[in-house]
Each structure stands twice: as C-alpha cells, then as structure tokens.
Amino acid sequence: MTTIMAPYRRGTNLFESFRDEMGDLFDRFTAGGADSGQAVTAWAPRVDVEETEREVVVKADLPGVDPKDVDVRVVDNVLTVRGERKEQKDEKRTSYHQIERPAGAFYRVVPLPAGADTEKVTATGSNGTVTITIPKKPEAQPKRIAVQPNS
C-alpha cells in the first residue's frame, strides 16, 4: 500500500479543507478529471527522511527514472517530488506473465520542519536515487550554552 504524505491545509472550515483534499486526490489519479477520459497510473516513490542539527535529507528511490525528468519544488515549507517513469516496452515479447514495476506519473509530498532554508535546496541523482538536501537556517540550529559556575 502506498502512502502519500500531505500536510493539513487550514481552510475556513473543516468541510472546505476536506473537499479540497479529496479534489486534489481525485486529480492526482485522473488526467485532468473525468472529462479527459484518460486515466493516469500514479505511484509514490519510497523515501527516507533524515534530520540532523544542520539539515534535512530526503532520499527518493526512483529506479529507471532519468534525474532530468524529476521535478523538485518547495512551496510553503512543503517539498514536492514528481515526474514520470516511462513504460519500457519490449517489442519482441507479446505477453508478460507479471508486471510489478510501476510506470507513469509519480508524486510525493514531504512537509519540512520549521527553520528549513528553502532558498538553498539542492538535489542530486545517481543509481536510481534522488537525494534532496535542505539546510536549516542558522537561527534554527541548536546552540550550545556553557554553564558557568556560581561565583
């Protein structure tokens, strides 16, 4: 089962937020809604999220995806990784017994902690893994305070 993490959006009321979330969810799994008549196979890559004192590192498994085809964005302290894995067809074979590697659009959302420096995000890709590094602002990093003896 694939889980897509999405931050809670504050609307004017709970029903409006729920309706917006359900609309977004529906749009992710259809190509532009019911009128287009063309479904999109959507999947979410597995990610590791690691936080240290100085940065947040997100590693996404994207085997078979060219790093140039990965769209990484940060908006309102939310990291979004999206793109598409192209279907690989072997013209010599006419039938498959089993297909487990998903193809099509992928989408993953990761909320970032307060203090993330979203202006200095970097992303690199190799060996089927995209690594996104988000440094923390200096004021968000822990400061060691020396304890002075009483005089």
- CATH number of domain containing 129: 2.60.40.790
Q: What is the mean pLDDT of residues 48-76?
A: 93
**Which candidate, 115, 120, 90, 108, places its Cα nearest to that of 49?**
108
Per-residue pLDDT for 101 more than 80?
Answer: no
- Per-residue pLDDT, 86: 80
Any domain includes 117 = yes
Q: Domain span at residue 62?
A: 45-140
Total domain count, the chain: 1
- Residues 112-140 have a mean pLDDT of 92
Q: Is residue 19 part of a domain?
A: no
List % helix, strand, coil for the chain (3-state, nearest 5).
15, 35, 50
